[in-house]
Each structure stands twice: as C-alpha cells, then as structure tokens.
Chains A and B, each alone.
Chain A
Amino acid sequence: MDNNSEFAETSKPQDKDILAEIDAVDELPTAPPKRRIKLSWVGKVSVAIVVFWLVICLIGPTIAPFHEMDIDGDDGFMGYHTNEYGTFYLGTDYLGRDTLSRIIYGARNTIGISLASTLLAYLMGITLGILAAVKGGWIDMGISRVNDAILSLPTIMLGLIAIAWLGSSIPVLVGTASIIYASSVFRIARALGQDIMVQDFVEAAKARGEGSWWVIRSEVLPNAAMPLATDFGLRLVFVVLFISSLSFLGLGVQPPAADWGSMVRENLQGLPYGSYAAIWPALAIAMFTIPINLIVDDLSAKAGGSLASKMV
C-alpha cells in the first residue's frame, strides 16, 4: 500500500492526543447539547396567528367596531360600506349586522367552547388513561371496554343523540364534546402510559419498591407531557370542527349569539346573491385550525422522509 508509510509518518505525532481523546470520550464531561424546540418559518407564522386569535378572544368586545347583535347596516347581505354608525369592512349579514364584529365576538364562543371542551376532555382522558396504564388489570379492562364502546360510535352521531335527548345549550355542547373526545385522549394517554410503563427506567423504579403515585408523577407524566401537548393541538382542531358542524346544523350555539359555524348557516342563503357573509366566518375557522395543524405537523418528527429521499 503506497500511502501506508506516508500516513504512518504523519500520524505518529498525534498518538498522545488520540489516547487523550479516547479517554475523554469515555471519562470526561462532554459539552451539553442544546435542548430546544425548533420551528420552521411556517410554524412561527402559525404560532403568531394562533396567538392573534387567542388575543381576539380576550379583548374582542373592546376592539369590535359594533356589538354582535346591533343591526346597524344599511341592509342585509351588503358588501363594504360606510354609514353614520361606522364602516362595515366585511359587509353585513342577513339581518344587517356587521360581519367583522360578529366574527370577533364569535371567536369567544367558537374558540372558548372548544378550548373548554378540549381541556375538560384532557383532564378526564389523561387521568383515566394513565390510571389504566399504571394499574392495569381490572381497572384497565373496565375503563377500556366502556371507552371502546364510545369510540365505536361516530362522533357526530353521539353529538346528535345527546342533543336530541338534552336539547342544545352551551353546557350540553361542552359536556358532550368533552366526553366524546376524552375517549380518544384516554386511548392515547393509555397507549403512551403503557409504552412508558414497560421502559427499563420504570421497571427500575418498581424494582426499588416505588408506589404507583410516585411512578406516575416522576416517571410517566414527564415523559408523556410532550406527545400529549402535541396531541392537544390535533384534538382542539377536531373539537372546533365538531362544535362548528353542530352549530352549522343549527344544533350548536343558538342565535342570536355569534358563532362561526352558525354564522355560515345563517348567511348561506346570501351566497347565490354574491354575499360573502357566509364565507368570512368559514375562513375564520380555517384561519384558526390550519395554523394549529401546521404547528403540530412542524413539531412531529418526519419519520422516514430522509431515507425516502435516498431512493433513486
């Protein structure tokens, strides 16, 4: 090998360094790698949009040009116009109310109800899911079977049956949505919990003699937090779609309260006459749900993509 002798010569002086390096790899502290969440620019823009909507929810009524129920427009289904009460940037709805103001007010209902339902669903789902995963046995069997039954029904059917039974009101909506979605949260929390429970570090805690509560608090929850947070976004989108669909069917938030889903329904008749009053609230929903899904997408690992790029 021609290059052998030459290489041996150049490598000799490094011997000491290399030995030191070998020991360093095994024994000495290495610099801590950075730990942080990275978002692409799409993700960052999406976060900004979601934050924008949350701010609207909080301060909406103070910045809305009109009250949600005031009929101040010149007529129903009008486009952009100005009169003595102010400017109707997005026009008016079928009654002549300001569409922009109703979207701002509606954010509170749509996002508020969805957020409340999702939080409640998470509270129930995680508690039961982790409990089932940690305790196993009969507790797990019992909760899981009931849960399977709920999951074996289409969500909209459950919603329709519940409303047929109890009538429509905000507490019924929140209750129904949270129970329906708690079952999917339960399934995910349980699966995550079970994955973590078979990890060696949990086994080590069990071998030490730790009780269930400590295992849940110190071993399971910290490791389940991030995946559950990501799932929260997905679940919130589902709940928004669920609530909006019910409202759209006239079974959700009842008039005259503003809600994005019911606003589309009310103004659908204006569509053939060229009124965009039904389009704006629909766009508002999209502007809230799409960014959330984009954030979730950004945070999830893109499995397989890199190897796929190696195909020829």
Chain B
Amino acid sequence: MIFPQKLAVVLHLRWYKTMQREKLVEVKDLKIHAKNDDGDIIPIVKGVSFDIHKGEVVALIGESGSGKTTISLAALSYTKPGLFFAGGELLIDGEDMLQAEPLRTREIRGAKVAYLAQSAAATFNPAITIGEQVTESAVLHGILSQSEANKRATELYHALELPDPDRIGFRYPHQVSGGQLQRLMAAMALCGKPDLMVLDEPTTALDVTTQIEVLKAFKKVIQDENSAAIYVTHDLAVVAQIADYIIVLYGGEVMEQGTAAEIINNPSHVYTQRLMAAVRPKPQAGLGSSVADEHEREIPAVKATDITAGYGGIIDGEPKIPILRDINVSVKNGHVVGVIGESGCGKSTLARVMAGLLPQSRGTIELDNEELEGDLRNRNLEQLQKIQFVFQMADTALNPKQVIGDIIGRPLEFYHGLKGNARHAKVVEILEMVELPAEFASRYPMELSGGQKQRINMARSLAANPEVMLCDEVTSALDSIVGANVIKLLTTLRDKTGVSFVFISHDLSTVASFADEIVVLYAGRVVEQGPTDDVLTPPYHPYTRLLISSVPELRIGWLEDTMQKREMAVGIAKDVEITSVGCPFFNRCPMGIEGTCEKQTPPVHKTDTDHQIACHRSIEELNMVEFEVQEALEHKKADEAIV
C-alpha cells in the first residue's frame, strides 16, 4: 500500500516523540476471568500486554467478545459483575490498578482515570441536572471547588461547541439531544482533569452526521488537554481518525499492535486483514450488485404511491404524529431497493406500512398492480405470503420458546399447508439455503449465535416463498465480519430466488454495496431516489452529499480533510425538524435559499434514468463539485453579513 511521503514523515516524527515520552500505563500479561452461575471459570482476557504514553491515544479494536471493554475498565480498577482479575499487572504511574484497595479505587476513578460510556442517554442520571453530574466527580475528589468546577465545565461546554454553553448545565438530560449528551459526557470525564480517559465506543450509537461532529469535538479536547486515552471501538475507520497506536484484539488476545499508520496501511495479521475487508467501503458508484436478467419483469412487485403515515390516530386525514409524507417508491421485480436515512427519518415506518402493520392515512400500496388494503388483517393469504417482513433484532424476533424447526416450519404450514415429514424436509432445505446445518431444527434460539439467529430470522421469511422481503436494519446489530457474511448471503439468495428486497439501513456503505436503487429519506420525505450509481454520483441532494461525506474513510487524516470542507457548513449539528411545509432539510442545508426553501415544497428534478432529486436548487447547482459549493457558501455568508 502506498501512502503519502509527507504523512509518513509526520507520523514518524510523532512516533519518535512518543518514544521519548514518559510511560503512563503499563499493562503486563493482564488476565481477567469470568465465573458463571455453575461456578465454571471462563477466561475473558488471556494475557494482554501494552503500554500507553502520556498524551497518547491508544485504540483497542475488536468485535464483540474480544475483551476490549473489559481491558479498558481494568484501568479504572473495575470489572463488570461476574468478572475478576486473574493475573498480570496494570500499572498507572507505577501503581497496580489490579491490587488497589477499595477506598483507593474511589480516589482513582473519575480523578486519575475517567470513563466515557457508549450510550450517554443511559449513563446520565435522569433525576439530576447535567451541571451537577458534570462537576460531581471533580468536586467529590476535592480537585476543584464547586464554583471552580462550574467554571471549568462551562469552558468545556464552549470547547465542545455545545449550544447555549452558559446555561446547558441547568438542564436535565432528557432536555438535550443524543449527540449533545455524548459531548456532555466528554465534559463530565474531563472536568476533573484526568491523566487517562477511557472512551468506550463513544460514537457507535450516533447517526453518521452526528458522529463526525462528536468525533471532531473529542479529538479537539483530547489534544487541548493533552490527556492520554484508551479508545475502545469496533470501527477501524473511526480509529484511523483518532488513534496514535492500535491494538487489535480477538477472543481476549492481542492479534497485532502497532502505530496507527502501520496497522491501517500495512496490516500484517490475517485477522486484521479480515477485519479491514469487512469495513464498509466508501459508498460509491459501481459497487452494487445487479439483477440477473432472468428475473427481470416489467411490472413492479410493490409500488407505494403518495404514502402519508404516522401514529396517534388520524385527524382530518392527517396522522396526529406524522412520520412519512407523500412517499413514492416502487420496487421492481428481482430488484433491491435500499432505503437510507438517519434515526427517526421514517425508514422503518415505510416498511411497516408496506407490510400492513401500520395502515397509511393516505396513498396506496400495490402488489403486482393490484391495490392492497392498508391493514394487513384485510389482506388475503396470498398477499400476506408475497410480502414478508424481516425484523431488525433477531433476538426479539424469534420466539424463545419455539425450536427453530417450528419457527421456520410455521410459515410452510400456514401458507403452503406442509405438515409432518414434508414440512421437515422443507425446513432442512431452507436451513441449507441460509447455510446452516439441519440439526439446528431442534434447537432453541438462545442456543445460537447472533449471526445464526439473524439467518433463522431471514429463513422464516424465505419459508413463505415471498415476492418481496422487507429487511429492516438486519445487519446493524451484528459485528462487521458477521454482517458482511449476511449481506453476501442475501446477494446469493436474490440471485437464486429472484425475490425483491426492500433493504432498510442507516449505513450508506452497506446499502451501496447491495442495492440496485437507493431511496434517501429525510424527516419523513424522499429527498432523492434513483439507481444506486446515479444517487452516489453528482448531482446530489445536499443531504445525500452530507451523508456521503460523513461516512468515515479508512484513511488517516480523513477527519481533518472533511472538517476543512465542512467548516463552512451551516448548522450541521442542528436537530432534525419534521415540518409540514417547505423542505425539511432547510435548517441544516448549506445551500438553502432563504424565503423559498422553508416555505415551498421543493420541486422534483427528474433525469432520464429515473433519478429524482427534490430540491429548489437547479441540477446545475447540485452538480457542482465541492469547491464550488464552498464558494456558494461563502457567497451566502456574505449575503447574510449584509442582511
């Protein structure tokens, strides 16, 4: 792999500097074991060694079960309930964390070592103001007085670019957004000026456009504070942006460790290579699979026209809580339509409307040119059989009290009247289709791994022999390697059976690698849709552009490059607003036209290839490359200055 000469020099210098720095943390042959209910001892961390120098960011990367979180918590002299330290040393400034007395651990936690958890929404106490929680640790440890701590917290809110930094501390956690809470947690960790921060998947739960903001803020404060950090994640692309040194873990053991540049540009271990292969490629044209000719048919399998839907009952033909507005989507036979959007955009709702789980308040759904009833209870058996819904979480979508044979066998019996041996034979056949052995038929869901359960989840829908499968985020809960395998399986299935897919995901790269067409949803509306290659190349809708440029690339320096382009962007961190008039993206749009965009519903530009963009800007303007957009932005800024 080639990498820029200049960058190599910079990195080398930095590495050299690191070597000169003082060691802060020394981990030697760390072993952590678990004890289960039967009293069996299970090793979780099997002898891990590494060092952290002052001011250095070390990433622990691995998939679930790699022990990465367990190792990072050891730095706080903490183990999750049921685990215990079984050997080795974890020295911070020469003091062994594994041997610390209970009272000493209290002095260390929050003062010397601070922790940042994955979900800020769950880790902030709902009954206490943000300010008290942010300053609590620093004040309790006697590092700062309450007034000093308040002052420092406010400084940190400013540094983290939080809205209304002088008053946000008086609010309660439920009063601010998820991305803001994540940054507030960074303030909470930093308030006591710790020597070491432990960041446990701090951006994983965030939307991609929010993640980039939070990542930028984290990187900035870590540099400003010159604090050392352990960054725990499964996401190599994120690691590439923030880490100086990378440790690749698998099954509680170190597979490979080295500087970020070494690992990213030249992974030597097969596992690291495998992990990198499963990383989402940058979403771009030409990656999508295409439909086999034999399955091509003229009429769309499912067609949704002018769908408006929501929750809370219907008042004057409008849902009380509208989610989707005026959606037009059609799924051609044998095609894969990817629906992409961030949390709350209504992508799952769209699938639920198609499945009849949530009747629309306006619009029609057609199956093979035949109009369907909105409520599935009024649909006939054949219609039900032809549209199958695959739920996101296999854990909750499979009845824990039924064996796999019954789970897959039920649709066979229900739709096709198969019983006894015929049913069993078909179950085995379907298990084979999803690449699972026949003996799984007698197992319960809890006896399978996450990836296996997701396969069963899809097998149940396949058993109905559907025309369309609605897949709702089927890979988001899975590790990247497992998820990549599931996508591979879906591609095979589509080639073999000719079934159409509506593939819903928040992950643009996954969609790009699998879908023939892409529908981009924002705040309940379609902002852009068309063939995959057209959607992923200019002209872009401004939101699509934001989405594409927010997907982290597996490249050191990507964050800085992107932020430079984005410094100009207005209001990226603003909340999504669901509006009934105008363009919903207006408050976050760098190209918005004041007076037009927020008042009028945008026109739909169509190209010859069914590519549609809903925007007030002309195709030419949307076609502009990045620097032209910047120019436009500067122009806009100047305009604003005049106003």
Contact = CB atoms under 8 A, between A and B. Distances in A.
A33 B50 CA distance: 34
B103 A209 contact: no
A210 interface: yes
Main secondary structure of the interface of B (DSSP, over half): mixed
A84 to B, nearest CB: 58
B439 A29 contact: yes
B557 interface: no
A306 B414 contact: no
B253 A11 contact: yes
B391 A204 contact: yes
A19 B271 contact: yes
Given A7-B49, A209-B381, A312-B106, A218 B402 contact: yes
Contact of A22 (B355, B415, B481): B481
B382 to A, nearest CB: 10
B509 interface: no
A26 B106 contact: no
A206 B376 contact: yes
B250 A22 contact: yes
A34 B274 CA distance: 33
Interface string B426-468: 0000000001110110011011110110000000100010000
Contact of B355 (A4, A38, A207, A223): A207
Interface stretch (B306-314, B317-325, B393-401): B393-401
The listed residue with most B CB atoms (<10 A of its CB), out of A4, A29, A208, is A208
Contacts of B381: 209
A210 B410 CA distance: 10
A21 B605 CA distance: 51
Interface string A191-232: 000000001110110111110000000110011000000000
B274 A1 contact: no
A309 interface: yes
Contact of A7 (B65, B102, B257, B400): B257
B82 A18 contact: no
Nearest to B103: A312
The listed residue with most B CB atoms (<10 A of its CB), out of A22, A26, A34, is A26
B244 to A, nearest CB: 12
A307 interface: yes
B284 to A, nearest CB: 27
B39 to A, nearest CB: 11
Interface in A271-312: 306-307, 309-310, 312
B399 A222 contact: yes
Interface in B469-527: 481-482, 485
A30 interface: yes
A153 B268 CA distance: 73
Contacts, number: 126
A4 B258 contact: yes
B81 interface: yes
Contact of A38 (B37, B253, B254, B255): B37
B481 A306 contact: no
B572 to A, nearest CB: 34
B435 A27 contact: yes
A8 interface: yes
Contacts of B447: 30, 32-33
Nearest to A33: B447
A34 B65 CA distance: 20
B384 interface: yes
A204 B397 contact: yes
Contacts of A63: none
Contacts of B357: 203, 206-207
A83 interface: no
Interface in B370-392: 376-377, 379, 381, 384, 388-389, 391-392
B179 interface: no
Contacts of A33: 446-447
B267 interface: no
Given A3-B49, A208-B410, A312-B103, A199 B396 contact: yes
B338 interface: no
Given A18-B270, A29-B437, A32-B443, A203 B411 contact: no
Interface in B604-640: none
Contacts of A15: 269-271
B165 interface: no
A25 interface: yes
Given A33-B447, A203-B391, A218-B402, A22 B268 contact: no
The listed residue with most A CB atoms (<10 A of its CB), out of B250, B377, B393, is B250
A213 to B, nearest CB: 13
A136 to B, nearest CB: 13
Nearest to A2: B51
A46 to B, nearest CB: 19
Interface string B254-270: 11111000000000111
A193 B259 CA distance: 54
Contacts of A204: 389, 391, 397, 460
A202 to B, nearest CB: 8
Interface in B217-265: 245, 250-251, 253-258
Contacts of B256: 8, 11
Given A25-B449, A218-B402, A1 B257 contact: yes
Contacts of A8: 256, 268-269
B397 A200 contact: yes
A79 to B, nearest CB: 48
B592 interface: no
A21 B251 contact: yes
A38 B36 CA distance: 13
A3 B50 contact: yes
Contacts of B398: 201
Contact of B384 (A32, A209, A309): A209
Nearest to B446: A33
A26 B484 CA distance: 11
A276 B415 CA distance: 70
A103 B38 CA distance: 40
Contacts of A22: 250, 271, 274, 481
Contacts of A310: 78, 81
A309 B81 contact: yes
A209 B25 CA distance: 59
B258 A223 contact: no
B197 to A, nearest CB: 20
Nearest to A25: B449
A201 B392 CA distance: 11
B356 interface: yes
A223 B400 contact: yes
Contacts of B448: 30
Given A26-B481, A26-B482, A208-B464, A7 B254 contact: yes
A8 B270 CA distance: 12
A4 to B, nearest CB: 5
Contacts of A306: 81-82
A25 B460 CA distance: 21
Nearest to B101: A312
A219 B271 CA distance: 41
Given A11-B255, A26-B449, 7 more contacts: A25-B451, A32-B447, A199-B396, A201-B399, A223-B399, A306-B82, A309-B81
27 contacts: A1-B258, A4-B257, A7-B49, A8-B269, A11-B253, A18-B270, A19-B271, A22-B271, A22-B274, A25-B449, A25-B451, A27-B451, A27-B452, A27-B485, A32-B443, A32-B444, A32-B447, A34-B38, A204-B397, A208-B411, A209-B377, A209-B384, A218-B399, A223-B400, A306-B82, A310-B81, A312-B103
Interface of A: 1-4, 7-8, 11, 15, 18-19, 21-22, 25-30, 32-35, 38, 199-201, 203-204, 206-210, 218-219, 222-223, 306-307, 309-310, 312
